[in-house]
Chains A and B, each alone.
Chain A
Amino acid sequence: GAVVSQHPSWVICKSGTSVKIECRSLDFQATTMFWYRQFPKQSLMLMATSNEGSKATYEQGVEKDKFLINHASLTLSTLTVTSAHPEDSSFYICSAEMGTSGNTDTQYFGPGTRLTVL
Chain B
Amino acid sequence: EDQVTQSPEALRLQEGESSSLNCSYTVSGLRGLFWYRQDPGKGPEFLFTLYSAGEEKEKERLKATLTKKESFLHITAPKPEDSATYLCAVQASSSASKIIFGSGTRLSIRP
Contacts and interface: CB of A to CB of B under 8 A. Distances in A.
B32 interface: yes
A42 interface: yes
Interface residues of B, number: 22
Select the residue from A6, A106, A107 with max chain B CB neighbours within 10 A: A107
Select the residue from B41, B42, B97 with max chain A CB neighbours within 10 A: B97
Contacts of A102: 51
A44 interface: yes
A43 interface: yes
Contact of A32 (B31, B45, B97, B104): B97
Interface in B14-44: 31-32, 34, 36, 41-44
Given A102-B51, A103-B31, A103-B32, A93 B44 contact: yes
Interface of A: prevailing SS: strand
B41 A104 contact: no
Contacts of A34: 97-98
Interface in B91-111: 91, 96-99, 101-104
B75 interface: no
A15 B36 CA distance: 34
A111 interface: yes
Interface in A57-97: 91, 93, 95, 97
Select the residue from A44, A102, A111 with max chain B CB neighbours within 10 A: A44
Contacts of B43: 4, 6, 93, 95, 109-112
8 contacts: A2-B46, A42-B103, A43-B103, A46-B99, A49-B96, A97-B97, A106-B49, A109-B36
Interface of B: 31-32, 34, 36, 41-46, 49, 51, 87, 91, 96-99, 101-104
Given A95-B43, A105-B97, 4 more contacts: A43-B87, A107-B97, A109-B43, A112-B42
